[in-house]
Amino acid sequence: MRGWVSWRKDRCWITNCSGFFMTQTLIPLLVDALANAALIFFVAVGLTLVFSVLRILNVAHGSFYSIGAYVAASLGLWIVSIGAPPWLTFPALLLSAALVAALFGPLIEHTLIRWTYGKSEAVQILVTFGLFLILEDLQRLLFGVQSIYSDTPMSLLGVSEIGGIIYLNYQLVLVGLAVMVLVGLRVFVRHTRTGRLLTAVVADREVSLAMGIDTNRMFMIAFTLGVFLAALGGAMATPTTGVAPGLGADTMVLAFAVAAIGGLGQVEGAALAAIIVALAKVLAIYFMPALDAVAPYIVMVVVLSIRPHGLFGTAQTRRI
Amino acid sequence: MGGKDRYCRSNKLQPYNNMLVKFHKTFYSFPSRPSRTREDDRIFEALGGVQMYDQMKLRKIFGGALLAAALAHGAAAQDKPDSLDVGVFTFMSGPAAAYGMPGKQGAEIIIEQINADGGVGGVPISASFVDEAQGAEGVLSEYRRLAENGTTEAMIAALSSGHCLALAPVADQLKMPTIGWNCDTHQLYQTGEFDYFYRPNGNTIAEFVAFALYFLDQHPDLKTVAFINPDYSFGHDAAEIVKAAIKALRPDVKVVAELYPKLGSPSYQTEVSRLSAARPEVIFSNLWGADLENFVRQAQPRGLFNQSNVVLALGETILERIDLPEGVTVGVLGDGMWNSPTAKEIGRAEAFAEAYREKFGENPIFPSVKMANAFLVLKSAYEAAMEENGGTWPTKDQVVGALEGISVTTLTGEVTFRADNDGIVDQIVGTTVKPEGAEHVTIGNMVRYDGKTLLPPEGEDALAWISKLTPEFMDNLPDAGSYK
């Protein structure tokens, strides 16, 4: 009997001991999923934004995530090393993302990406893949191969106990920031002049051009915004993780899965898909750790089998 | 068949006979023969192909004899090369570089020291480093390229157990003496016998049985354990070994969580939550390199080290990088601790550490020491082979012959090879303690287990051997804190 009770406590599931399940499993599971989803969302929404406006699947997008992470970590370490107030490491995260976007966005869009407009998808993918390889090697050259850690922002915010488990307050801040980015993108697209022009370009590029919209400028803005979102994801990830070569590739694959599940070009789709993918990963880690790595792709296969254009996508849909 | 017939099978070819003769005179003359006189040439030309053929025949006989003599001489002894070229395989990029680079740095220091002491039998070591981060196929092709370049005499390979499993049969195929500087997997010599592949480190059985013994001894009332290991053979093997030891020695202990994050995972936040929710008394981990550092940096602020007793099998590698709390069980996978009591007694590790500190600004960690010890084993094999060979430079086969059953005093202890080419080394396990005034925690409350007692007899299935361990076996082991 003693063994049975102990088994029930260890294996508590929805039907039994629901209070225990709620506090020990369900709440931590949801918090973990939301915290994971936030970071995936930043990079996936940037990827999907670039695709919806430029019609280019940018394989180098993951590199901007890792570059954002490297710049944020370096800036954070520099701030600490010169003895500046540690809270400055927070604005440094946003500043890093802005710096990366301002430097790489216009430069790469004006050169490589613009050259691929109108070319076949295979050429576009090959060009952006080449860019990805170059950027990955540049990171190795500049930052070396050892992991870099800059965890001051995480330490400053402290911890909270949720469902009997200690969480970093920084993880909760990430969730809030992801919601702000989602809302901000909505407001930008629907309520600003540039956002409406972007929508027009997405709806019909040729007519927009005929109406006098500077489509090249719109492309540049969309690409730079995409770079900013990817770099923001990387920068915001640095306080809770080490930055090492290979980060970009892993993130890129996950971002593709999320964008495909949500429907390419769908901002809300990316948000929902990020939560589903993160939930799948967390569920796997909690209950079937062997499936951890493949969980996002299992979700992708299931979703695309039922809805080939993703949760929010349709064959003809061209909107952001 | 006369020479003429051989070269000019028909009369139509007769005019070319002289050309052939001239050709052979030009390119096939004995270099040691005194230059011919004109008279000789005239006679030679007059005799034409017959003379030439006879001469060719003689040359072949002499040449063959000389070649055979040279080969026989070479087989017995070779001229000393300008340098002893060694291929060294380690991770120099990617997350595994956190372990691989200290290995490379250890190689650089020990090579400098060996060369400063006169090299190996008077020959300086020269290393070609290969990055294992390129994957198994790249590693194999680099190994073949080095092995067949005509100058590489030995290999120190590799860090990854998977690469070691792939390289061991190739070492035999190419007859290349190879020292497995890190290869931990016990599967290496369970899957086959290899004549040219020697591992001076013990293996995962000895390493992880040692940890199980230590924490079971430390926690007599232990009820729950959890695992977080890397998702490949090293992680899964370690969990199987520890679980087998627990099952044999404390069958009432329950495993409440088993997590296997992928190698190179940047985030462990969900795993930390899962472990927090499972609330195990002991968390065992053989995460390593950047993975280990990432996990500890993420788990510590979330209170995991306060909630559970954590066992970090490769913990010594991060002691000076992270502010670990006291009471964490850490080890060095073997005896490669540069400042252990035995290393101090031997007296060579401190000079190694000093040179390492001077060049790289930090103390060597156990991968550095493991690498250095691998070089010392190779050096000893060469010296033993030369001694056996009357002082002349040995062949690769002679080096391999010398490695058989050799015992070498390394920087940190003694390694002896068993008949299956697996090394026996002691295992050091301890707990983090912070001496007063020290900047970082260090290893205290140590025990040094005799490596021989932690390895199954040759040929016996490792897990079956572990399942036969008894509480009496534990009683006969040295206690924690006994190694001072």
User: Residue A31 and residue B95: Cβ atoms within 8 Å?
Assistant: no
Angle A61-81/A121-143 helices, nearest 10 degrees?
20
Cross-chain CB nearest to A166 (options B231, B293, B302): B302
Statement: residue B129 has pLDDT above 60:
yes
Average pLDDT over residues A285-314: 87
Q: Hey, are the CB atoms on B294 and A242 less than 8 Å from each other?
A: yes
Q: How far apart are CA B297 and CA B304, in angstroms?
A: 11
Residue in B closest to A282 by C-alpha: B270
pLDDT at A316: 57
Residue B155: enclosing H or E segment and its boundaries?
strand B152-156
DSSP codes joined into one string, B271-294: HHHHHHHH--SEEEE---HHHHHH
- What H or E segment, with its residue span, contains residue B192? none
CB < 8 Å to B302, chain A = 159, 165-168
% of chain A exceeding 70 in pLDDT: 90
Q: What residues form DSSP beta bridges with B85? A: B126, B152
- Pick the residue from chain A with its C-alpha nearest to B91: A145
What's the pLDDT at A21?
A: 59
- Chain B: residues touching A (Cβ < 8 Å): 92-95, 97-98, 101, 231, 254, 256, 258-262, 264, 266-267, 269-271, 273-274, 276-277, 290, 293-294, 297-298, 301-303
Distance, CA of B44 to CA of B463 (rounded, Å): 77
In angstroms, the separation between the Cα of residue B194 and the nearest Cα of chain A is 33
Q: What Cα–Cα distance (Å) separates residue A2 from each residue in A9, A24, B222?
A: 11, 21, 17
The one-letter amino acid code at B130 reads V
Name the residue facing A293 among B262, B271, B294 (closest C-beta).
Answer: B262
Residues A111-134: b if buried by 16+ CB within 10 A, e if exposed: ebbeebeeeeeeebeebbeebbee
Q: Which residues of A touch B294 (CB under 8 A)?
A: 147, 241-242
Cα A29 from Cα A36, distance rounded (Å): 11
For residues B348 and B343, give the distance between their C-alpha atoms in angstroms, rounded to a whole number.
7
Residue B261, pLDDT above cutoff 70: yes
Q: So what's the pLDDT on residue A23?
A: 61
The CA distance from B62 to B57, in Å, is 9
Indicate the average pLDDT of chain A: 87
Bin B413: left if φ > 0, else alpha if -120 < ψ < 50, else beta.
left
**Amino acid (1-letter code) at residue A105:** G
Q: Does the distance separating the beta carbons of B303 and A32 come in below 8 Å?
A: no
- DSSP structural state of residue B452: G
Shortest Cα distance from B248 to chain A (angstroms)? 20
Q: Output b/e per residue, B259-289; b: 16+ Cβ within 10 A.
A: bbbebbbbbbbbbbbbbbbbebbbbbbbbbb
The two three-digit tokens of residue B381, written as one number: 């094999």
Q: What is the pLDDT of residues B315-372, one digit of tens each?
A: 999 998 898 999 999 999 999 999 999 999 999 999 999 999 999 999 999 999 999 9
Q: The sheet that has B197-198: what strands, in order across it?
A: B125-131, B84-90, B152-156, B178-179, B197-198
B277–A290 CB contact, under 8 Å: no
d(CA A101, CA A227): 5
d(CA A286, CA B53): 84
Per-residue pLDDT, averaged over A268-279, amounts to: 93
**Summary count for chain A: helices (H), strands (E):** 15, 2
Residue B67 has pLDDT above 70, yes or no: no
Q: Do A245 and B94 touch (CB under 8 A)?
A: yes
CB of A271 less than 8 A from some CB of B: no
Q: What pLDDT does B109 receive?
A: 98
> What's the pLDDT band for B17 if we cut at 50, 70, 90?
very low
- Confidence (pLDDT) at B13: 44
pLDDT value for A6:
38
How high does pLDDT run on average in chain B?
86
Q: Which residue has the tokens 């002679």?
A: B398
In tens, the pLDDT along B367-417 reads 999 999 999 999 999 999 999 989 999 999 999 999 999 999 999 999 999
ipTM of the complex: 0.84
The whole-number pLDDT of residue B58 equals 46
**CB neighbourhood size of B435 (10 A):** 10
CA–CA min distance A239, chain B (Å): 10
Tokens 């290869």 found at: B183
Burial B71-88 (b: 16+ CB within 10 A, else e): eeeeeebbeeeebbbbbb
Tally C-beta pairs within 8 A across A and B: 105
pLDDT of residue B78: 65
Residue A71 has pLDDT above 60, yes or no: yes
CA–CA separation, A216 and A214 (whole Å): 6
Shortest alpha-carbon distance between residue A82 and chain B (Å): 20
pLDDT range class, residue B448, cuts 50, 70, 90? very high
Per residue in A150-181, pLDDT (tens digit) is: 989 998 999 999 888 899 999 999 999 999 99
Please give the pLDDT value at position B97.
85
Contact of A10 with chain B, judged by CB distance below 8 Å, is answered with yes
On whether any CB of chain B is under 8 Å from the CB of A159, the answer is yes
Minimum Cα–Cα distance from B228: chain A residue: A289
Is there a contact between B216 and B244 (Cβ–Cβ < 8 Å)? Answer: no
Residue A271, pLDDT > 80, answer: yes
Query: How many Å apart are CA B187 and CA B271, to the nearest integer?
Result: 28
Q: What is the pLDDT of residue A93?
A: 96
pLDDT beyond 90 at A91: yes
- Whether the per-residue pLDDT at B464 is higher than 90: the answer is yes
